[in-house]
Amino acid sequence: MRPTRLLALTVEETTDRYADLIRAKTTTGQLSPGTAEVYIRDVLTFSALAGPHRVLDELDGEDIDSVLLAFARKPDARRRTPTTAPQSAASQARFRRSLSAFFRHALLSGWVQLDPMPAATVRARQRGDLRTERRALTREQAGGLITAARSLAAAPPDTGRRDDQRTELRDALTVVMLATLGPRVSELVGADLEHFFTNDGIRYWRVLGKGGRTRDLPLPPPVAALLDAYLAEGRPLLDRGREPRALLLSWRGRRLARGDVQPAIDRVLSRVAPADRRAVTPHGLRHTTATHLLAAATDLDAVRRVLGHSDLSTLTRYRDALPGELEAAMRIHPLLPP
C-alpha cells in the first residue's frame, strides 16, 4: 500500500535512505554483499548525476534520460588511463535496472507521486548477445597475460622494497585465478584460507557465490602450484594479523578490496609484450574464461558450474566470437573424414 502523503525529500536524502535499506538486506541475508555494493554504487552515481539537492519528485522522464546519457558517457573508473569510450551496453542496462528498483521503492515509500522510469526513452543498443567491443581476450592475449603472471611469480624479489610490501606473488595469483577460473571479483576478494581444501590429491576452491550458492572448483595443477607458492612465500610477508582468514591481503594486512584488483591486473599487464597486450577488467577475464571453455567444446553444464550460474541460458552473455573459430570447427567436422 502506498503512503497517503508525499515526502518532499531530496535526491541525496532518498538515495542515502535506500542505501541503508540495501545494507540492511545484506545483514539479513536477502542480498549478497557483492550485489548490494553494485546497487549502492549505482544509486550514489545517480544522485551525483541527477543533482543531490534536487527534490526527487520533481524529476521526470527527460531528467532520467539526461542521467542515463550522462552515465553512458561516464569513463570506466576501473581503468587507470582515461578513456573516451562509453559504458558498455551491459553496464548501461544494469544501471537502468538499478534505477527502476530504486524508483519502485520510492513510489511505495511516498518519495514520488509517479515513477518516471516508464517515461524514459534512452536505452543502450545491444547487438544480439555480442557486445560492440569484445570483452574476451584472444588466446594469444590471454596466454601472454598468464605467462607474464607466472614469470612475475618466479622473478627474484624486488630488493628496493620492504618485505611486507612485496606483492608479486599475490598479483600473479590474482590474475591467474581470474583468467583461468573466471570467478566474480567479489568471490575472489571474499575467498578465505579455509575455502581451499584437498580431496584425493586434487586441490579445490569452495567458492561462495551469489545467492548463498557454493561450488567446488578443482584447481588446474599450475594454479594449485601458484597458490601453494603464494601461501608459503607471499602471504606470510603480507599477514600482519588483521585479516587472518582472507586469502588475498593488501600490503597493510587487510583483505584486498574490489578496487585493488584492477591495479593488480594492470601491473601484470605492463609485463606483457606490446603485441599481445590489451587492457582488460576483472569481468573481462571472466568472459575470457567462458569464451575459451565454450570454444574448446567444453560441456555447457560444466561451464555453467565453473561460472556459478543456475541457468544455462545465462552463458550467452559470456560468449564472444573468436577469430578463426568457424574455420576450425569446419576442419574438424564430426560428419566428415579427416
Q: What CATH number has the domain bearing residue 53? A: 1.10.150.130
Same domain, 149 and 277: yes
Residue 74 among the catalytic residues: no
Asked whether residue 126 is domain-assigned, the answer is no
Of the residues 78, 135, 184, 304, only one is catalytic, namely: 184
Cα–Cα–Cα angle for 313, 314, 316, rounded to 5 degrees: 80
**25 in catalytic set:** no
pLDDT band at 16 (very low <50, low <70, confident <90, very high): very high
Give the tens place of pLDDT for each residue, 51-74.
Answer: 999 999 999 888 999 999 889 888
Sign of CA dihedral 310, 304, 26, 43: negative
Please name the amino acid found at residue 228.
D
What is the total count of domains within the chain?
Answer: 2
Query: Best-predicted range by mean pLDDT among 40-49, 268-277, 301-310?
Result: 40-49
The residue with cell 590474482 is 174
317 vs 27, residue with greater confidence: 27
Establish if 329 belongs to a structural domain.
no
283 is catalytic: yes
Does the structure show a pLDDT above 70 at 330? Answer: no
Angle subtended at Cα 69 by Cα 134 and Cα 42, rounded to the nearest 5 degrees: 80
Q: Is the pLDDT of residue 313 over 80?
A: no
C-alpha cell at 1: 500500500
- Report, as an integer, the average pLDDT of 325-333: 63
d(CA 111, CA 107): 6
- Give yes or no: 286 in active site: yes
Query: At 309, which helix (H) or strand (E)?
Result: none
In this structure, are 206 and 300 located in the same domain? yes
CA separation for the pair 91, 76 (Å, rounded): 10
pLDDT tens track for 70-96: 898 887 655 545 455 667 777 888 899
Q: Which one is catalytic: 18, 39, 230, 318?
A: 318
Give the structural domain span for 292. 139-324
What's the whole-number mean pLDDT along residues 177-189?
92
Q: Is-catalytic flag, 184?
A: yes
Q: What is the pTM of this model?
A: 0.67
